Structure formats: C-alpha cells, structure tokens
Amino acid sequence: MNVEIITIGDELLIGQVIDTNSAWMGRELGDEGFHVVWRTTVGDEEQDMLDAFDAAMHRAQIVLVTGGIGPTKDDITKKTLCKYFDSDMHFSDEVYKNIESIFCRTGRTMNELTRSQAMVPDKCTVIQNQAGTAPCTWFERDGGRVLVSMPGVPYEMKWLMTNEVIPRLKNKYRRDLFIKHQTCWVTGYSESALAIKLADFENALPSFIKLAYLPQPGIIRLRLSAYASAEEDAEQVISEQKNKLHALLEGSILVEEDKPLEELVGEKLRSLHLMMGTAESCTGGRIAGMITSVAGSSEYFSGSVVSYCNEVKHNVLGVSEDDLNQYGAVSQPVVEQMAMGAIRVLGCDCAVATSGIAGPGGGTPDKPVGTVWIAAAYKDKVVSECYHFGAIREQNIQRSANTALLMLLNLL
C-alpha cells in the first residue's frame, strides 16, 4: 500500500525544528510492508495545507499527517481538515475525560485552550492519545483511502503509530508487498571505489532488489532492499544477496545492523564489559554527547575531559609540556597522550581523543583548517591517525566524532 507522509509547521520549513517524524515513520512503515512514496512538508497556511491534502489523497491510499493540532492559534490542521472533509466540530466527552486524566496525573491545571482540544471533527474516527492531550483523527473516503492526523510531538506520534495507527492499518489493508531491508556497514572503501567493486554484483541484482550507498566519514552503509509478494521470499533473497556481499568484500563488513554508530559502540563495550571515556579538544564534548544520548550508556561510559586549551591537556590529562611546545596541540604525540591520560584520569578501560582545527580560522600552511588528529586507546595499546576533513566547522566536528568512534570500534 502506498503511503504519503505530510508534516506541518512553519518551524520545519525555516529549519528551526528538524523533521524527525517522517524519518521514523518511514522506517516503521517499511518494516510493516507499507511503501512510503511521498514526503511533504507544508507551513501553517490553510490553502497550502488543503492543496497538500488533496494531492496526497489522489496519489496515495494512506496519508499520515503530523503537526498543527495543538491548542494555539497557529495550530489550524484540525480546522483545515474539517474544511477539506466538509465536517463540523463537536465536543467529545471521551476526549475531554482523557485530557482530564492526563492533567490529573501530571498535577497541572486545565484552561480553556486545553479544553478546546476536546473539539473534534464529526466525520472522523477519534483515537484517544494516551501520551498527550491532542487526539488522533482518522478520516476515510470512498475507495478505501485514509487520512490520519496525529500530533507533531515525536513521542506522542510514536505512541499513536505503534499502539493504534499501524495495527489499524494492518487490519484494514491486505498487504500485497513485503519489504525487507538489510544494512551492512563497510569500512576501507570510498563510495566510488565501493561502487566499482560492486558494479557486477549490482548489475546482476533482480529487478525487485535495490542497492543503496549511504556514506558517512570513514564508513559506508550498504542497504539492500527486497520487494516481494511473500515475507519469506523477501527474507530468503536478502539473505542470499548478503552472503554474496560477504564473499566479495571479505573482511570489510563491520556489522550487519542499521543502527547509529554510538549504539554499535555501546553494544560492543557492553558485550566486552568495558568502560569508555573521551578526551576531546576540537569536538568539544560531541563524542560524549553522542554516547550518552543512548539510554543505559552509564553501564559503559565513565566520563569526558573537554581539554580545549593546552593547560587542561597538561594539568588534567598529563600531556607533556615539551611535546605541546615542540609539536603543537594538533599532533600525534599530544592526541595519543590525551587518550592514555583519559584512561588514567577517568579510570576506564578505553578512550578516544581528538585534537584539531575545526575552523573557520586557526589554520596554517602546515596544518590547514580541517586537520584533525584522532587516537583510540585500549589498555596499553593506542592507535592514531591524521585526517584532513575540509573547511566547514560543523562537518569537521561531526566527522571527527564519527571517525573517533569508528576507530575505537575497530580497535575493540
């Protein structure tokens, strides 16, 4: 079944808020055999929303909408849906009781704006939102087309999708297409070199299998996607093609899971019963932030020393003053001592360290902007390498963080 996702909000269009909803929804729907063919973002303008609803309802069987159903004046999705489906509003006692129970649990006081969320269209099925006060509304048209409107708050949308919307869609529609994805993390290749290596393999793939290259600094995610009429067929053909990839790439496939790098590192640390720390200069705590964004990371993360200035590198991490003066902060001796110093100071088993010139200023002919030394240490072993990432500060910081985690993963 074809699906279109519509996300609503001026904040998405101007970049003030990043749309994570549609990415999450796309993954979940794909795993359940629904084919997302369109993603649309529209602002808080009635006519633009009406146009988006109309286009989506003509080209997809299922339209999933998030955003714009809160209690404030800029939340006009519910009113616009009433206009689109020629519906009136009515007060729902059930929705109001749900809102009351949520406010009671959280110790908050209701007001008139909150009460207004119990006003719902009369030409829809109302789905109670146990994670928030804005209800979910389900509209249907002749021909079996469905439009579902959900809150834009990510945890509310996820609760509704997981507990209500996807189960109802699976019950309503007979899925005639099963989609199976297999992602492999590949190291040791550039994107172009990997494409050349896999040219014959890719050309020989059946028409119902797609291969996608998703590059990140130091690593490439290869995604195989199979579209078949039976779930067993999709799984079988994916398994066959994955085995062929292993034979072609020998030891270059690092893992076979589509997870963020910080989760993969965390799982490796947990499996080995190791504690990790970081010593960060140019990344300014980015690596520590990535690691601790994963729930349960206290099981394997000790802490971080953000040693932005040389005094902290020397006084806290024990980096040699002579090496700082002779080689500079962005150097192999310094970054290796930072990594070993983190293990000693934080009392952990392994650590990563970064020292570089993120930019846009600070570069020299010998060490231009984007020059970064990265080290990873495990017990008494330390590895390090110099990278030249480019001239854009944010990219340099993120590439350094990714590369440090990848270096540690390889070392472990």
CATH class, 261-411 region: alpha beta
Which residue ranges in the chain fall short of pLDDT 50? none
Q: Which residue has the tokens 């714009």?
A: 68
The Cβ of residue 94 has, within 10 Å, a number of other Cβ atoms equal to 12
Q: How far apart (Å, rounded) are the C-alpha atoms in residues 69 and 80?
A: 10
Q: Write down the domain spans for the chain.
A: 2-172, 178-255, 261-411
Give the tokens for residue 2. Answer: 């074809």
Partners of 351 in beta bridges: 277, 377
Which segments within 362-412 are labelled E, that is strand? 371-378, 381-388
pLDDT of residue 176: 67
Record: fold of 2-172 = Molybdenum Cofactor Biosythetic Enzyme; Chain A (3.40.980)
Using DSSP's 3-state secondary structure scheme, residue 279 falls into strand
Could you check whether 2-172 and 178-255 share the same CATH topology? no
What's the confidence (pLDDT) of residue 175? 65
Residue 347: both structure tokens together: 């009392």
> For residue 6, what are its two tokens?
């519509």
- Model pLDDT, residue 109: 77
Answering whether pTM is above 0.85, one says: no
- Per CATH, the number for 178-255 is 3.30.70.2860
Q: What is the pLDDT of residues 56-86, one digit of tens each?
A: 999 999 999 999 988 887 789 999 999 999 9
